[in-house]
Structure formats: structure tokens, C-alpha cells
């Protein structure tokens, strides 16, 4: 049975990284990830003790909020988990949410009937 935790303050970086690497492989630093997780509101989805999905909200609590990412393990996609994570994120966020979408995720957000906003821009500080 899937259960959700709103504002999951117990989320550990190693658990998040294990899940994230299955959805969005990367070279994640555990210490830096724990710091990042500590700065966001994390809504998580669990299948028993296994993290299967997460949406992270970064907000100033007053004017601005953004979704830094939403991840759901591939074998759990198309089961309404992402939709439920987004519903909970929208409800728990103290602000409006502004975020970009990868091209392959646009259909997901359109199905949720989210309003399209301004186009986003990107500055990559790792490349010079």
C-alpha cells in the first residue's frame, strides 16, 4: 500500500539519492543533498519502507515557490502517484508555484490542468 508524507522532515539523502539515481541518474553528493533536502518542503510517496516518489518545494514562504523536481520510480509511474504528489505539493505550499518542465513531462502537467506560465530560462554555473 502506498502512503504519503507531507513535509517529510525525516527524509535522508542516501534514500533520496538511491531513488533519484533510478529516475534521473547523476553524481550526487550525500552531504550536499542532505543540505538541499533540509531547505525544501519534501512530499514523499512510500511503498512500505521503499521511497518511490518525491516532490521538493523551494519557497521563501511569502512571494515565491518553485518545484525543484518531482520524481517517481518508473515501475510506479502511470498509477496516480505523481498526480497525488502534485496535489499535496499544491496544498502544502504557502505560495503560488512556478516551475519549468522537461519536454517529456509537459503532457503530465497538462493532464493535471495546470496553467502554463512564462517560459523559463537557465544559467549553468558549472560550465563557463
Neighbours of 40 (CB within 10 A): 19
- Secondary structure of 1-12 in HEC code, one letter for each residue: CEEEECCCCCCC
Closest CA to 67 of 41, 99, 108, 35: 99
User: Which pLDDT belongs to residue 77?
Assistant: 94
pLDDT in tens, the chain (128 residues): 999 999 999 999 999 999 999 999 999 999 999 999 999 999 999 999 999 999 999 999 999 998 989 999 999 999 999 999 999 999 999 998 887 666 566 666 677 776 777 666 667 777 65
User: Which pLDDT belongs to residue 97?
Assistant: 85
The alpha carbon of residue 43 and the mean position of all alpha carbons in its chain are separated, in whole angstroms, by 8
To which residue does cell 522532515 refer? 9
User: Which pLDDT belongs to residue 46?
Assistant: 98
pTM for the predicted model, two decimal places: 0.84
Helix, strand, coil percentages, rounded to 5, for the chain: 35, 25, 45
User: Which pLDDT belongs to residue 115?
Assistant: 73
User: Which pLDDT belongs to residue 42?
Assistant: 98
CA distances from 13 to 51, 60, 89, 118 (A): 11, 22, 20, 32
Question: CATH number for the 2-97 domain, one of 3.10.310.30, 1.10.10.10, 3.30.70.20, 3.40.630.30?
Answer: 3.40.630.30
Amino acid at each position: 500500500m502506498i502512503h504519503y508524507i507531507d513535509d517529510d522532515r525525516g527524509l535522508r539523502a542516501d534514500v533520496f539519492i538511491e531513488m533519484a539515481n533510478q529516475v534521473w541518474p547523476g553524481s550526487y553528493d550525500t552531504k550536499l543533498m542532505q543540505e538541499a533536502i533540509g531547505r525544501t518542503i519534501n512530499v514523499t510517496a512510500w511503498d512500505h519502507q521503499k521511497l518511490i516518489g518525491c516532490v521538493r518545494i523551494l519557497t521563501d514562504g511569502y512571494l515565491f515557490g518553485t518545484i525543484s523536481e518531482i520524481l517517481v520510480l518508473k515501475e510506479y509511474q502511470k498509477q496516480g502517484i505523481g498526480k497525488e504528489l502534485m496535489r499535496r505539493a499544491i496544498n502544502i505550499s504557502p505560495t503560488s508555484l512556478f516551475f519549468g518542465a522537461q519536454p517529456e513531462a509537459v503532457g503530465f502537467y497538462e493532464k493535471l490542468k495546470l496553467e502554463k506560465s512564462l517560459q523559463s530560462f537557465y544559467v549553468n554555473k558549472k560550465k563557463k
